[in-house]
Chain A
Amino acid sequence: MSATAEPDAPPARGVKRRDFLKILGAGTAVTTTIGCSTKGVGHLIPYLVSPDQTVPGVSTYYASTCRECAAACGVLVETRDGRVIKLEGNPAHPLNRGALCARGQAAPQGLYNPDRYREPMVRKDGKLVPISWDDALHLLAQKLGELRSRNQAAGAAFINLHESGAFPGFLDQWLASYGIPAHLSFDPDLPSAVLAANRESYGVSWPGLDFSAAKVIVSFGADFLDGWGASVPQQLDWADARAKLSDAPRLVYIGARRSLTGLNADEWIPAKPGSEVMVANALLGAFGHATSVNIAQAAAASGVDAGALARLATALTQSKPSLVLAGGSGADALELAQAVNAINQAAGNVGQTVNPAAAITAFEHAATYADVRELADRMRRGAVPLLMVRGANPAFSTPPAVGFPAAMAKVPFKVSFSSYPDETAELCDLVLPDHHALESWGEAAPIAATISLQQPGMDPVFSTRQTADVLVMLAKGDPSLAAKYPWADYRSWLISRFPGAATGFTNALTTGLAPASAAEVAVAKGSSGTPAAPAPAKVASVAGAPMEQSHGDFYLVVYSSPVLGDGRGANKPWLQELPDPVTKIVWQTVIEIHPETARKLGVEAGDHLRVETDTGVIEAPAFVYLGVRPDTVAVALGRGHTAYGRYAHGVGVNPLIAVPSSEDRAGALALTCTKARVTKGADHTLLVSTEGSARQHGRGIARAITATELMAATSSGAEETAAARAATAPDSGTGGGDGEEEMPGDASHKFLPGLRSPVANDAQGDYGDTASKSLGMYAADHWSGMAKRRWAMTVDLARCTGCSACVTACYAENNIPTVGAPWQGAQVLPDHTGFGANILRGREMAWIRLERYFEGANHEDGRFDADFETRFVPMLCQQCGNAPCEPVCPVYATYHSPDGLNVQVYNRCVGTRYCSNNCPYKVRYFNWFGYGESDRIQYAFPEPLNWQLNPDVTVRGKGVMEKCTFCLQRIREGENRARLEHRELEPDEFTVACAQACPSRAITFGDAADPRWSLTKLIEDRRAYHVFEELNTFTAVVYLKKVTHPVPSAPATT
């Protein structure tokens, strides 16, 4: 680099030799100095000498581990020219088996977050200012030295975001060498009560759960699709269970609010908050256990129909095995979990559906909220001389009632290892920013006997250092400890303890997996060899619960957001803009309230509600939602940050303000523990929602078939007889939404041949004449061979849970801009606060969206009705064979490719938007602003977020239309690879981003013209249908009907 630095050229004549030498010397010195610094060096291409196996334009994948939640799924980090561009699930990983959730997909936006700390910071005159690493380390070493010399080390504390694997042990060892007690491994998202009860019952925190084997599943607020436990594997198992169609387990959800899991349930028993433990004990009574509660009492206490509980008890006692799950965050969460474990024990589920031997070990040794609260108490007393925090953000994720920030003020020296300017880090005196997980070495132990390795996907983006390395460095700098730390860095330490040392480590990195050594397995399994059989818990009287004594008419349910978690996702625009699977709200906090209550309070959607508890007041717009009890309001955690970067700061409301600091008996924060007074506020805010109509008006978009209908239709044989049609026809009202006349189980195969035929026949009008000699590139024998293929997709609605991982995967793969940030639409609605202004105008760009339609409970008076069904439909470009969008484009910017895609030529588009007008599916998206132009306020990828952009996909300019093209870049990549290897495409050789991520494996992509692709079997399914087939669009997306399992004895009670 320095060779190119010519000093300023002096005039041609008159250069004296001495001047020349002076300039040369100065120039060399300057360029050398600059060249030695890691800053300010601009690389046109990252590599001057390319590493082996790196081909420009071809991705390199590194197996690593996702650290976005505690579960630690395996990922393949896709890098291009030295930069991470996408995460994909690691198919070899036993936990997530190739799938990845939305939060995992969004990890690169954490890596490239523009608000990350770029270097160490130190507090000077009350402000955090940059400091060099040497000085920062020196300062910390000095503080640690002081601590030791004053004998205060035992008071110091280290809070680490809970993780499994090697680091916690390494950290404790390091802390111990300074005389500091073991760290707190804190994760507010973990259901501590369930972990505690499981340890008590099974000796492991998280036994393996087998959804497929169960005949009936009962969830007491256990939101296993929302982030409770290990989300991705649970979702995979759940989807596999539902894919058994008519034999699939029924899911009964018990809780005051229907979460995403609740919406996937076949039956909702809306028990009052705090009464779940009574219901659990009543069910336990049905197994002959002596409990103090019977069904009638439980029904009375929980405010639900005794008949439903009795039916549930019968179902549980008769269908074996079953699976009962405890969740919830009430004050008696531990008792609930114990009772549930007792039910599982009584029902004989342990060993069948609850499998302690196949435990998920990722949650072992987690600290609880109580530990953090005790630490805060100690801090407040001034007993903590040094606080170190890494990853966790207790200043935000503990209720303000605890006063964590105030307690921090009493700590003389606070050190944060956070990468982000979160609420806790902003209060610290020294910030030593950690690498992002994608820049770090490490290992996780997500599952028994397996180590999941973590390796960096790229060089650090900023001047950060991995905390483990910092610890090694500090120890090496301390004369008394140096001998104990002979390793150069953390990676050397990892290798040193790895079986097979460096070679073994390198080999294991190729899959990212290694078997855990026996000793570690034992540790992971916990010390107690034989757990005691779970005993039924004592039931606290509901009436005497503290919740009932708090003031108010409404129960306040506060839950962890399935998208943002406890709030750590809030600084990633992809997650802020990912519609909540249930409310479909983005960039906003809402208070969920039932229509009946809303009517009573005179509240319309968007009117502000004031929720006042004994602890605090929150005010937010109302979201009128069928799935909460009328005596309950619900608010999601995750937003309301006062720091944490531009995307999180000031967006939404933090409901913890209204939550008192109370714990259940396992030490977890009781989120749902108080009543609240709810009043209508003065303001009105438009809901920043992507929802149009929540009802499908019988248009057959999301269709379903009941299990009994499906069985009847299947048993009547492949040949439909008139009798069978007549027999099944009367119940058809449940098929395609209200009032739709549709043969249950009758896939209208009449249109599917169109799907399989050469595409030109139906797509290209005049070319449809096969005798024509002018078929051109649409001819099947054209040299390109493209017309031989028909790319298609199936979406199995029986599997789809609505989790929306596909949406974020699509954002990541296709460079889709986020448009809802406050400043991006400020000028559109100047009178508005600006939050999500573009979204208020429906301008979100999600090429694939999750439509959520409710069926049933559609009462004029809005009265409470728990019996409604929810259907999720991923809606993306249907790649119509006879596409309405194509002929209307005046400039051929959208046309039909010979392999059956509606391709969009961004460069040709002039932006008439006629194609969108004519698209019945409304899956075309327009670039209203220059989202891809870095000098604009609407820029969606501020440096370095733009490093993530997929180089295979154009960043679309202002004024052009864009849409899903079935990840065209992946199709072409696969074809090119096959061509380079002189072979045909293998069936199922590649897939599109949404299908790849989908944690319920609902999406299948393939070539419908090649029967070897697995897709071709799925389109033969009896449940197959097209959306709006009556419009003769000949779509390439085939949906498979959802299979519902209604309440057996009472079909359609409404």
Chain B
Amino acid sequence: MATSAPPYPIAGGDGAPRPNVATGDRRLPAVRDYEQVTREITSVLRPTVAWFIGLSIAILFMLTGAGAWMYQIHEGLGVAGYHPPVMWAVYIVSFVFWVGIGHAGTLISAILYLFRAGFRTTIYRCAEVMTVFAVMTAGLFPVLHLGRPWKFFWLIPYPHWRWIWPQFKSPLVWDVFAILTYLTVSATFLYIGLLPDLAVLRDHDTNPVRKKIFATLSLGWRNSDREWRHFARAYLFLAALATPLVLSVHSVVSFDFAMANTPGWHATIFPPYFVAGAIFSGIGMVFTIIIPLRKWFGFKHYVTLNDLDASAKLCLFTSMVVGCAYLTEFYIGWYSGNRIEHEFWWNRVFGQWWWAAWIMLICNMVLPLSLFSQKLRRNTTWLFILSLFINLGMWFERFVIIVPSLSHEFEPWQWAGYQATWVDFAILCGSFGWFFMWFLLFVKQLPILAISEVKEIVPPKRRQMIAAASVGVGGGD
């Protein structure tokens, strides 16, 4: 993956756009026509040996996590590393982590769509798929962290003959709403965007069963002008609907902490801080996924260095927002004049938890500063490595928020430490297995690049070329 393009294009050379200018009229110089788009994007849908190996590994991880969960249900939560008063730990950390991962997808697919940011075109499908699966993964954790997970439905307001409702003052109930809403909207958004692509698959697939499935899923898409008009409107409305969710869902998640009185949690900065962190972590995950994908699937001429460059700038920006939030938190901790806050912050950054805090600060605040260098922004190896650091750092950000705060609260007699057990790690690994299992299944069934949107930026065909083409009249063409 050590592909590194020259930082500046030769001035006025082949007419390529300047790399550091994100522009609406994107061009993919190596993509000549619609047929090439369809051919290349659908060609990767055939399963390969490497894919099977990857899927097996993911399923193995998932099964490990599932086994650990079964063990935990049978034995009790004590097999996880909880150390009162640290009553929330790896599971809630992972919950917030995965919800955060989801946010970049919606940001890229919805907000950047509304802003007409061209570099989004080639990465948005990947990000959106990541969103849905990340939210699906995140949704597992609030259930599996329960003492009695088989009673999870008590958090859902359903009519009950005893008139027992959830406590609507509890942020955990808000979480239920936020996560379910987010899952619904992002899944719908993904599906609507898939419609024209499903029609392409229907037209090109030879397997009658798959053809039938794609035909059903594409809702009879005929590529008519009316359909396109409605599609565009629907997509726009859904983008508008999804946009506030980017802000609200992680704000609600942050309320789990901000609404509590725990030092380190009880801060008004949390909603914006969490949203920025979520987007930052999501972009990190997008890099983690898209950089190997574009290499393995040969999509380097679709997901260009320009796209990555522009995304890296977004990453840098959110990193600085997050860093600003960190510093603000430290400052307010000092400025509060509250001795309990002082001691807590000292303990978090220089005391018991210094290692976690510095992993967070270095990964999220210091390392992304390298993206000021265009050379590094266009160095996919560095971007990939950096993205792993960002994932690590963002997981630790949530760890640093949750565990040190709980371990160093008001009551000194109940100050404690925390050490995760193998069950925690198995379930954490299981969540990655679960996520990548779905993702890998997706990439071999459905196009990971949006065929229809890529075609929008490929130069349209002239009539004579259509006439000359031997390709049949495809619905999506």
- Check if A and B associate: yes
Chain A interface (Cβ within 8 Å of chain B)?
A: 691-693, 695-699, 701, 739, 765, 825, 827-828, 838, 841-843, 849, 851, 853, 875, 884, 887-892, 908-914, 916-918, 920-922, 925-930, 938, 957-961, 1028, 1031
Query: A914–B340 Cα gap in the complex (Å)?
Result: 21
Q: Of B142, B259, B340, B411, which is within 8 A of A888 by CB?
A: B259
28 CB-based A-B contacts, threshold 8 Å = A691-B413, A692-B412, A692-B414, A842-B85, A842-B414, A851-B413, A887-B169, A889-B170, A890-B170, A890-B173, A909-B147, A910-B147, A911-B77, A912-B142, A912-B147, A916-B84, A918-B262, A921-B411, A922-B84, A922-B85, A922-B409, A925-B84, A926-B82, A926-B147, A927-B76, A930-B76, A958-B147, A959-B77
Asked if A891 meets B416 with Cβ closer than 8 Å, knowing A925-B84, A960-B148, A1028-B410, the reply is: no
8 new A-B contacts, CB < 8 A, other than A910-B151, A912-B145, are A701-B412, A842-B416, A887-B169, A892-B167, A914-B88, A916-B85, A926-B82, A927-B76
The smallest C-beta distance from B419 to any residue of chain A, in angstroms, reads: 8
Determine whether the beta carbon of B172 is less than 8 Å from that of A928.
no
Which B residues touch A928, using CB under 8 A?
76-78, 82
Determine whether the beta carbon of B155 is less than 8 Å from that of A891.
yes
Which A residues touch B441, using CB under 8 A?
none
Q: Mark B135-177, 1 if CB is under 8 A from A, else 0.
A: 0000000100111110110110000000011110111110010
Asked if A842 meets B87 with Cβ closer than 8 Å, knowing A888-B171, A889-B167, A910-B155, the reply is: no
The smallest C-beta distance from A70 to any residue of chain B, in angstroms, reads: 34
Residue of A nearest to B411 (CB): A922
Determine whether the beta carbon of A913 is less than 8 Å from that of B147.
yes
Determine whether the beta carbon of B261 is less than 8 Å from that of A922.
no
Residue of B nearest to A960 (CB): B147
Query: A545–B119 Cα gap in the complex (Å)?
Result: 90
B415 within 8 A of A: yes
Q: Of A838, A891, A926, A959, which is within 8 A of B166 by CB?
A: A891
Within B55-89, the residues touching A (CB, 8 Å) are 75-79, 81-85, 87-88
Which A residues touch B78, using CB under 8 A?
825, 828, 838, 843, 928-929, 938
Determine whether the beta carbon of A692 is less than 8 Å from that of B413.
yes
The smallest C-beta distance from B335 to any residue of chain A, in angstroms, reads: 18
**6 interchain residue pairs of minimum CB distance:** A911-B147, A959-B147, A928-B78, A693-B412, A913-B87, A922-B414
B406 within 8 A of A: yes
Chain A CB count within 10 A is highest, among B87, B171, B176, B261, for B87
Asked if A875 meets B412 with Cβ closer than 8 Å, knowing A910-B146, A916-B84, the reply is: no
Which B residues touch A825, using CB under 8 A?
78
Residue of B nearest to A1028 (CB): B410
Which A residues touch B165, using CB under 8 A?
892
The smallest C-beta distance from A203 to any residue of chain B, in angstroms, reads: 47
Which A residues touch B340, using CB under 8 A?
699
The smallest C-beta distance from A584 to any residue of chain B, in angstroms, reads: 9
Which B residues touch A849, using CB under 8 A?
413
Q: Of A843, A911, A1028, which is within 8 A of B146 by CB?
A: A911
The smallest C-beta distance from B178 to any residue of chain A, in angstroms, reads: 13
Determine whether the beta carbon of B409 is less than 8 Å from that of A887.
no
Determine whether the beta carbon of B166 is less than 8 Å from that of A892.
yes
Chain B contact surface mostly: loop
Which A residues touch B343, using CB under 8 A?
697
Q: Of A841, A917, A960, which is within 8 A of B262 by CB?
A: A917
Q: Mark B374-418, 1 if CB is under 8 A from A, else 0.
A: 000000000000000000000000000000001001111111100
Which B residues touch A843, using CB under 8 A?
78, 82-84
Query: A927–B167 Cα gap in the complex (Å)?
Result: 22
Which A residues touch B421, using CB under 8 A?
828
Query: A335–B166 Cα gap in the complex (Å)?
Result: 71
B260 within 8 A of A: yes
B339 within 8 A of A: yes
Which B residues touch A916, using CB under 8 A?
84-85, 87
The smallest C-beta distance from A739 to any residue of chain B, in angstroms, reads: 8
Which A residues touch B169, using CB under 8 A?
765, 887-888
The smallest C-beta distance from B421 to any residue of chain A, in angstroms, reads: 7
The smallest C-beta distance from B256 to any residue of chain A, in angstroms, reads: 8
Residue of A nearest to B151 (CB): A910
Which B residues touch A698, using CB under 8 A?
339
Query: A855–B438 Cα gap in the complex (Å)?
Result: 58
Chain B CB count within 10 A is highest, among A890, A928, A961, for A890
Query: A916–B416 Cα gap in the complex (Å)?
Result: 14
Query: A86–B408 Cα gap in the complex (Å)?
Result: 37
Within B333-371, the residues touching A (CB, 8 Å) are 339-340, 343
The smallest C-beta distance from A774 to any residue of chain B, in angstroms, reads: 14
Which B residues touch A884, using CB under 8 A?
260-261
Residue of B nearest to A845 (CB): B84
Residue of A nearest to B152 (CB): A910
Determine whether the beta carbon of A692 is less than 8 Å from that of B416.
yes
Within B103-153, the residues touching A (CB, 8 Å) are 142, 145-149, 151-152
Which A residues touch B166, using CB under 8 A?
890-892
Asked if A701 meets B411 with Cβ closer than 8 Å, knowing A910-B151, A910-B152, the reply is: yes
Which B residues touch A914, using CB under 8 A?
87-88, 170-172, 256, 260
Determine whether the beta carbon of B412 is less than 8 Å from that of A695.
yes
Query: A910–B388 Cα gap in the complex (Å)?
Result: 35
Residue of A nearest to B147 (CB): A911
Which B residues touch A921, using CB under 8 A?
410-411
The smallest C-beta distance from A746 to any residue of chain B, in angstroms, reads: 20
Which A residues touch B406, using CB under 8 A?
917
Asked if A842 meets B84 with Cβ closer than 8 Å, knowing A693-B415, A875-B411, A910-B154, the reply is: yes
Determine whether the beta carbon of B147 is less than 8 Å from that of A920.
no
Chain A CB count within 10 A is highest, among B151, B165, B256, for B151
Which B residues touch A913, using CB under 8 A?
87-88, 147
Residue of B nearest to A693 (CB): B412
Asked if A920 meets B167 with Cβ closer than 8 Å, knowing A699-B410, A909-B147, the reply is: no
Which B residues touch A957, using CB under 8 A?
148
Query: A843–B409 Cα gap in the complex (Å)?
Result: 17
Determine whether the beta carbon of A917 is less than 8 Å from that of B411.
no
Determine whether the beta carbon of A887 is less than 8 Å from that of B167.
yes
The smallest C-beta distance from B87 to any residue of chain A, in angstroms, reads: 4
The smallest C-beta distance from A61 to any residue of chain B, in angstroms, reads: 35
Query: A926–B142 Cα gap in the complex (Å)?
Result: 17
Query: A1031–B77 Cα gap in the complex (Å)?
Result: 30
Asked if A828 meets B79 with Cβ closer than 8 Å, knowing A911-B148, A916-B87, A918-B260, the reply is: yes
Query: A1028–B413 Cα gap in the complex (Å)?
Result: 14
Asked if A1031 meets B411 with Cβ closer than 8 Å, knowing A692-B416, A909-B147, A911-B146, the reply is: no
Determine whether the beta carbon of B79 is less than 8 Å from that of A926.
no
Asked if A697 meets B411 with Cβ closer than 8 Å, knowing A692-B416, A926-B84, the reply is: no
Determine whether the beta carbon of A853 is less than 8 Å from that of B82.
no
The smallest C-beta distance from B296 to any residue of chain A, in angstroms, reads: 40
Query: A697–B342 Cα gap in the complex (Å)?
Result: 11
Asked if A888 meets B260 with Cβ closer than 8 Å, knowing A699-B340, A699-B410, A927-B76, the reply is: yes
Chain B CB count within 10 A is highest, among A697, A828, A922, for A922
Determine whether the beta carbon of B172 is less than 8 Å from that of A890.
yes
Which B residues touch A889, using CB under 8 A?
167, 170
Which A residues touch B409, using CB under 8 A?
920, 922
Query: A849–B147 Cα gap in the complex (Å)?
Result: 24
Determine whether the beta carbon of A697 is less than 8 Å from that of B339.
yes
Query: A825–B83 Cα gap in the complex (Å)?
Result: 13
The smallest C-beta distance from B162 to any residue of chain A, in angstroms, reads: 11
The smallest C-beta distance from B81 to any residue of chain A, in angstroms, reads: 8
Which B residues touch A828, using CB under 8 A?
78-79, 421
Residue of B nearest to A922 (CB): B414
Chain B CB count within 10 A is highest, among A891, A908, A925, A930, for A891
Determine whether the beta carbon of B167 is less than 8 Å from that of A926.
no
Which B residues touch A892, using CB under 8 A?
164-167
Which B residues touch A938, using CB under 8 A?
76, 78
Determine whether the beta carbon of A888 is less than 8 Å from that of B76.
no
Determine whether the beta carbon of B172 is less than 8 Å from that of A929.
no
